[in-house]
Amino acid sequence: MTTTLVWHEGGFLPTDTVAVGDHGLLLGDGVFDTLAVRDGHPQHLERHLRRLRAATARLGIAPLPDDAAIAEAIAALVADQDLPRARVRITITPGSGPSVRTRGTRPTALVSITELAEAPTAVSLASVAWVRNERSPLAGLKSTSWSENAQILREVRARGFDEAVLCDTTGRLSECCAANLFLVIDGVVVTPSLATGCLPGIIREVLLERGAAVEATLTGEDLRRCEAAFITSSTNGVVGVERLDDRRLDPVAPAIDRARTALDAVH
């Protein structure tokens, strides 16, 4: 069951509805951020809120509840549902507008909570022909226009894989649909740069700050020569890759364990 609070007139209230004219519903116009709650504590909350603020500023969505109000809403949901392990999603849309081209002045802010599922022990990745458009106005954002990712995931899962590996329009490796990608090449953990249109993932940010990975320009050839690989997301952390296209990899390689250790040191 999902429990949701909606921001309205200066406070959060329980709700089961969104206005039919909301631009998030009509146009997929909006952004979201998803974070994990473990032992009752939101993980990397300040980083998530900072990324959310940057995204709404880029799209020109305002005014919004302040960080303290969002944090209080999360705490209220965690306490109300008694979920020491939870998945929290913060969704911001422009709200309803007078037309599909013109926004209104009262954005919608939703904070929802569900039980956090156990992270997979390993995943399989498939290369796909679809690309991440690094020149899109939505590049690098967790946009609510997510149907493209959902369709790609359905396609690769029909082929027996868990996730897809996307290149950008120039052929550089970018990311997965719902995770950042890391490869181990010559003993070094590398990840695509933000120039490829990939999401500035929170776990990615932590690993780069900790010196557990570096950015690099990567291509499809690197998928064929890497020694190991893993993906990261805020809800699943670091997850090793056991199959990459037609290759078998070690999902518990030492470099993957070191990345987990670096992440745990920041919690």
pLDDT of residue 179: 98
Per-residue model confidence (pLDDT) at position 100: 79
What's 195's DSSP letter? G
Predicted pLDDT at 168? 98
Question: 219 vs 190, 241, 248, CA distance in Å?
Answer: 12, 18, 19
Tell the CATH superfamily of the 122-264 domain: D-amino Acid Aminotransferase, subunit A, domain 2 (3.20.10.10)
pLDDT given at position 21: 81
Partners of 11 in the beta sheet?
8
Note the pLDDT tens digit of each residue in 20-69. 788 988 889 999 999 999 999 999 999 999 999 999 999 999 988 999 99
Ranges for all domains in the chain classified under CATH 3.30.470.10: 3-115
pLDDT at residue 240, as a whole number:
98
pTM of the model: 0.94
Ranges for all domains in the chain classified under CATH 3.20.10.10? 122-264
Looking at residue 17, its pLDDT comes to: 66
Give the model's pLDDT for residue 16. Answer: 61
What is the CATH architecture of 3-115? Answer: 2-Layer Sandwich (3.30)
Position 109: which residue type?
A: A
The list of the chain residues with pLDDT below 70 reads 1, 8-10, 16-17, 267
CA 1 to the chain's CA centroid: 21
Task: Give me the pLDDT at residue 198, please.
Answer: 98
Contact call for residues 125 and 89 (beta carbons, < 8 A)? no
Residue with tokens 């209104």: 104
